Amino acid sequence: MDYLALPYILREGYLDRANLLESLTYSIGLILSTRKGDMPFEPEFGCDIWDREYGDLYTANKGDIRAGLRMAIDKYEKRLHNVSVSFTRTEDRSAKVLGMVVKVSGNYRDDNDEEQKFQASYHLE
């Protein structure tokens, strides 16, 4: 099955397509990179990590931050289950806004209804 690729780019009258794994990766990236309230048609879409001060990310309860990210993914990406989230500080300090790497893992069912593992890392900049 084909899914729409993000970002939406119209080429020769067609939008780019993606496979299921790519679609999951794009979808979670969109959730993690969107501040709640930025989508007028769905004000709760996104995650609240963008509402935190930079210093809060290192002093706040890490479990609370992970839980918030996991809840956002659970709510808006129904194809992924058994989601776990971890994050680390990135070593690259050049022009980073948050300087965080979020690792998301979980399971999904492929187009043949077989259980597959998902894992991706996202740099929050």
- Give the model confidence (pLDDT) of 29-66 as tens digits: 999 989 998 988 999 999 888 776 555 555 667 788 88
Task: Determine the Cα–Cα distance for residues 73 and 79; give it in Å rounded to an integer.
Answer: 10
- Give the model confidence (pLDDT) of 68-88 as tens digits: 899 999 999 999 999 999 987
Query: At how many degrees (to 10) do helices 62-76 and 20-33 cross?
Result: 130
User: pTM value?
Assistant: 0.80
Q: Which domains does the chain have, with CATH numbers?
A: 3-124 (3.10.450.40)
- Give the model confidence (pLDDT) of 105-125 as tens digits: 999 999 899 999 999 999 876
Query: pLDDT band for position 99 (50/70/90)?
Result: low
The answer to whether residues 90 and 121 touch, using CB atoms and an 8 Å cutoff, is no
**What is the identity of the amino acid at 93?**
R
Task: Determine the Cα–Cα distance for residues 74 and 80; give it in Å rounded to an integer.
Answer: 7
